[in-house]
């Protein structure tokens, strides 16, 4: 089964990585974060008129180096025409201020004391970055999953805080608000982490992190990202084989006297691989951020909020998405006054927005030529 994130990919194009320091950021909760660092990467060249900007918003465990997991959007065609920017979301662990960052008051990492942040907070920080670059117009804001939720907030925030023209948005595999179904999956993952005795309410020893609970959380997520069809087609009832590239790891934790099934080894592989590339407290922070997603909060409800987004929107759903069912993208498209709906037929479920990115990139390219 393909990996949705591959850190081994290399870009054919020049990438510029940088960081922006925001002196302070007032969150929706009223809390003020000081010295906010925003890590970002850019692809392509900014036009003299600064009017060829495309913002890519990454998903839950993504990062600014888009070529490593969404390379179809930074191909030569894209970077020759557009200046593409992706920022690490607030609360993450890839360079932007989050639980791993040093609290200026205690001189220690925030850890579990990092304040609650919303998607609107995250987008506001991104908007400040672009303002610092004297960018006043964005051709499109594009994102899948948590990234798709950000695209909606970008359009809404541009109304509430003028001086930024958002010409179009492309929300992919996301809803207008997080449902009880999605909150339930996130809570299962958080409970898996909390039940690890090493978690210690987030105050864990960095040398002894809650690896078992965190690995289990990732395994739960991986099931929700895929489909019955994909799992059966790829693994069936095959048994573990040591020479399988995704199974070259210890299977001691699989409590069965018989040889474990291949799908068990796959899940353990995904869980173990994840431990080295993400922070536990950032995962908790961002999962709560996603659960708070509701474009209608403070805006008169979902219907009124969506109706206020007048920009052209390309809404993309996946017909087999278990986590964010296509009915949610259909509702989103109905609520947006100027929306086009595309449904991707795929066996991969939610992760199709990464695994079948070429088709999505092609649809988006065609859409932007009409803007």
Catalytic residues: 145, 321, 350
How many Cβ atoms sit within 10 Å of the Cβ of residue 345?
A: 10
| Residues contacting 362, CB < 8 A, separation 6+ | none
Return the exposure string of 189-226: e unless at least 16 CB atoms fall within 10 Å of the residue's CB, then b: bbebbbebeebeebebeeeebbbbbbbbbbbbbbbbbb
CA 241/CA 284 separation, integer angstroms = 34
Query: Token pair for residue 2?
Result: 């393909």
Half-sphere exposure of 320 (CA within 13 A, CB side): 17
How far apart (Å, rounded) are the C-alpha atoms in residues 226 and 268?
Answer: 16
Q: Do you know the residue count of the chain? A: 371
Contact residues for 54 (Cβ-Cβ < 8 A; gap 6+):
78, 82, 83, 84, 85, 138, 139, 140, 141, 142
Residues 230, 220 contacting (CB under 8 angstroms): no
Contacts of 24 (CB under 8 A, 6+ apart): 32, 33, 34, 35, 36
Among residues 60, 44, 72, the alpha carbon closest in space to that of 364 is found at 72
Q: E strands, the chain, where?
A: 15-26, 32-43, 53-57, 83-87, 102-103, 108-109, 137-138, 140-144, 165-166, 169-172, 313-318, 339-344
- Pair type for strands 313-318 and 169-172: parallel
Query: What string of DSSP letters covers 83-130?
Result: EEEEEPPTT-SSSSSSTTSEETTTTEE-GGGSPP--HHHHHHHHHHHH
């Amino acid at each position: 089964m393909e990996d949705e994130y591959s850190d081994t990919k290399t870009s054919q194009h020049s990438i510029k990585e940088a960081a922006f320091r925001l002196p302070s950021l007032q969150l929706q909760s009223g809390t003020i974060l000081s010295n906010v660092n925003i890590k970002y990467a850019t692809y392509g060249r900014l036009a003299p008129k600064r009017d060829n900007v495309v913002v890519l918003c990454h998903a839950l465990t993504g990062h600014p180096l888009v070529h490593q997991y969404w390379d179809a959007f930074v191909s030569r065609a894209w970077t020759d025409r557009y200046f593409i920017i992706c920022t690490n979301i607030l609360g993450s662990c890839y360079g932007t201020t989050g639980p791993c960052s040093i609290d200026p008051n205690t001189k220690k990492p925030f850890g579990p004391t990092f304040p609650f942040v919303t998607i609107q907070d995250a987008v506001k920080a991104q908007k400040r970055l672009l303002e610092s670059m004297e960018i006043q117009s964005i051709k499109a804001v594009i994102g899948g999953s948590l990234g798709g939720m950000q695209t909606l907030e970008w359009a809404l925030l541009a109304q509430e805080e003028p001086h930024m023209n958002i010409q179009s948005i492309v929300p992919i595999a996301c809803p207008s608000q997080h449902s009880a179904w999605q909150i339930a999956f996130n809570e299962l993952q958080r409970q898996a982490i909390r039940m690890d005795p090493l978690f210690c309410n987030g105050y864990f020893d960095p040398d002894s992190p809650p690896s078992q609970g965190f690995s289990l959380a990732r395994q739960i997520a991986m099931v929700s990202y895929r489909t019955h069809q994909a799992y059966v087609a790829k693994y069936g009832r095959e048994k573990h084989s040591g020479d399988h590239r995704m199974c070259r790891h210890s299977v001691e934790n699989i409590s069965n006297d018989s040889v474990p099934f291949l799908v068990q080894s796959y899940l353990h592989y995904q869980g173990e691989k994840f431990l080295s590339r993400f922070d536990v407290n950032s995962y908790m922070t961002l999962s709560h951020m996603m659960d708070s997603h509701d474009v209608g909060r403070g805006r008169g409800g979902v219907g009124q909020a969506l109706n206020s987004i007048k920009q052209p929107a390309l809404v993309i759903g996946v017909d087999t998405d278990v986590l964010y069912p296509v009915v949610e993208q259909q509702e989103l498209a109905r609520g947006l006054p100027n929306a086009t709906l595309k449904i991707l037929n795929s066996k991969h479920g939610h992760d199709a927005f990464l695994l079948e990115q070429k088709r999505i990139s092609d649809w988006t390219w065609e859409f932007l030529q009409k803007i």
